[in-house]
Amino acid sequence: MAIILGGSLLSCNNASDASAEKKNKDMGEIIGKVNPIIDDNILSPEVLYSFGRVGDVVVSPDKSRFIYQITYVSISENKTNSELFVMKSDGTAKKQLTITNNRESSPTWLNNGQKIAFLGNETGSSQIWSMNPDGGGMTQISNIDGGINGFSFSPDGKKVLFLKDVKSVETAPDRYTDLPEASGRIVDDLMYKHWDHWVESIPHPFIADLNGSSLSNILDIMEGQPYESPLAPFGGMEQLAWSPDSKTIAYTSRKKTGKEYAVSTNSDIYFYNIETGETINMTDGMMGYDINPQFSPDGSLLAWQSMERDGYEADKNRLFIMNLSTGEKTYITEEFDNNTDSYIWGEDNKTIYMLSSVAGTSQIYHIDISTKEIKKLTEGKHNYVSLSLGGEGFIATRQSMSQPSEIYSVDINSGESTELSFENSHILNQIQMGEVEERWIETTDNKQMLTWVVYPPNFDSTKKYPALLYCQGGPQSTLDQYWSYRWNPQMMAANGYIVVAPNRRGVPGFGSEWLEQISGDYGGQNMRDYLSAIDAIAKEPFIDETRLGATGASYGGFSVYWLAGNHNNRFKAFFSHAGIFNTEAQYLETEELFFANWDMGGPFWDKSNAVAQNTYANSPHRFVDKWNTPIMISHGEYDYRILASQGMMAFNAAQLKGIPSRMLIYPDENHWITKPQNGILFQREFFRWFDEWLK
């Protein structure tokens, strides 16, 4: 049965139809699958926000089924909603398990597949709930003040490990009890803010006994410690792990505070013994990020991801294994000159399967841990983004520049894949996507650079098109076959632009030398790489070289500001989001100072530091005297990585110089644009600006 609710299509075969209808009547309109109106078979912002977004995929213990999460968007209500589904590993028997507006997430299997546990917020805070595999019998398990952020059950099913925020600073009302409404923050050390929030609490791991449908004997395993675990703000349950015998918890923590925390990436893997309460640092002496521990199925080995150098957050992500009997550590991916993006153990304790982005696509790799031999299992113009053992091989999620994430089964021997979810086929079947072409372009230093070129739908080579140079952020972030709900090349192409996206210096997937060249060279070779790409493509007869634009966010926004003063009249319009305009101000404004110290070379007042002085000499604000091209700027005021003042400075400079300019400021957004209506606004203003100057 299907119920149409204000344009939302919901499958109600998880429980009785009468029960589902009653729940829908009680809840009002449920945010669910949408059948958008599609004009001329072309992607639009409204269509983009109609895609169901595939989230967590968790395979059952017997590998015959998997639960997965889909997030839906309501533009009119300006919010999202996540629901849970179950499906057999062969793609049959799909069933929707939840129908609420309460956002269900983090599903897992309980009692050897007899129950499903998940996070739900029906009571106003995220708590652990359980239900039958058919969606019935929902029961709340936890009732933790303030809610929890994630959880996992011990292999023996007797305990639960969960994450909860704990207070980390004394507030003004704490100090002065007669001033309960005082909002001033008293700051004595660094890292008082992080990404988009003021740091007044940190995550801690807790354990509790699971007694039927309730928790007891709750214990903070880092009680009294002013350190976070997992690493804020993006770390989750992947940074903690149960040993197979349920006696040990491995957790990730950077046991530093204040200035020491702000300038270091040195996190470690700790073992907590449940029986004794003893904690041991297992990676002491390893100086970079050590994260994401996983025990081998037999519990004899520990794998984790490790970076070598303290302070370098984009260092090579290596895969290490430790023999827990001897303590011997082995660098498994030493001969592999690219990152371990994620990994899982094989069932034989001898094999690891890894995802890695190499040369513009993310594929599945097989690692023999005894020989360190690494074999690529899959091919294709796409990215694998998650991986589990299931069915006869893998259950994986996959995406590309032309398709949002969907769930696939992948043959473990041949690498052949079969789509299972088809969550967005009702939209994709109506959309004509542009061709995505792989080009290799020669750079100024005679290297070959992969550049993605995305063509408009119904491309006609006899016509002249405007083109947009897309500048990747990071600066050391992959530019592979990703799908984005904001920086979407197909969306740009659908509006009549040819998109040129170069994997310039600093982009992962092309070896360590290519990756690391950008550090300390802002405004250097990577900028010449951008210009090499746009110059090469602009020579094509179907591109109008008098109608070129450039755009990007974060480091891509920096790139746009820098190009605005150094492009020699190549471009006719710019759009920069959340970009660095003044590197001297950025050094003192940002929060993770390890990033600025490594990439910029250090503080601007160190006149003896040639690398740092080169960085600040290449700050975009030093080239404003050469600005002569229309520019639009957007920024979020909750962005504490790159403060909104950076965008305001750039806009003010353009205005004072009389350059056509526009600014889009979000008082309620961070480094990204997360609210649906703000996202639609971003897309509309983006194209209104470029259409005004390039068409």
* Tokens 């769930």 sit on residue: 407
Cα(588)–Cα(609) distance, rounded to whole angstroms?
17
Given the residues 130, 154, 639, 661, select the one marked as catalytic.
639
Side-chain half-sphere of 444: how many Cα atoms within 13 Å? 13
Count of CB atoms situated within 10 Å of the CB of 346? 17
SS3 category, 489: helix
Cα(682)–Cα(577) distance, rounded to whole angstroms?
10
**Strand ranges for 254-360 from DSSP E:** 268-273, 279-281, 290-295, 301-306, 318-323, 329-331, 342-345, 351-358
Annotated catalytic residue 348: no
Q: Which of 695, 608, 678 is nearest to 637 (CA)?
A: 678
Cα(210)–Cα(157) distance, rounded to whole angstroms?
8
Count of CB atoms situated within 10 Å of the CB of 682? 19
Given the residues 382, 621, 635, 671, select the one marked as catalytic.
671
Q: Between the CA of residue 281 and those of 59, 236, 490, what are the distances in Å?
A: 31, 20, 47
Positive or negative, the Cα torsion across 634, 638, 642, 643? positive
Pairing of strands 403-410, 417-419: antiparallel
Cα(567)–Cα(548) distance, rounded to whole angstroms?
11
Would you give the distance in Å from CA 108 to the centre of its chain? 21
Annotated catalytic residue 671: yes
Q: Is 444 exposed, middle or buried (0-12, 13-18, 19+ CB in 10 A)?
A: exposed
* Tokens 């950077």 sit on residue: 254
Given the residues 342, 519, 554, 634, select the one marked as catalytic.
554
Annotated catalytic residue 201: no
Cα(311)–Cα(261) distance, rounded to whole angstroms?
10
Which helix or strand (DSSP H or E) is residue 262 part of? helix 258-262
Q: Between the CA of residue 413 and those of 329, 381, 394, what are the distances in Å?
A: 29, 19, 10
Token reading at 215 = 């928790």
Residue pair 91/131 in contact (Cβ under 8 Å)? The answer is no
Cα three-residue angle 183-188-193, rounded to 5 degrees: 65
Catalytic residues: 554, 639, 671
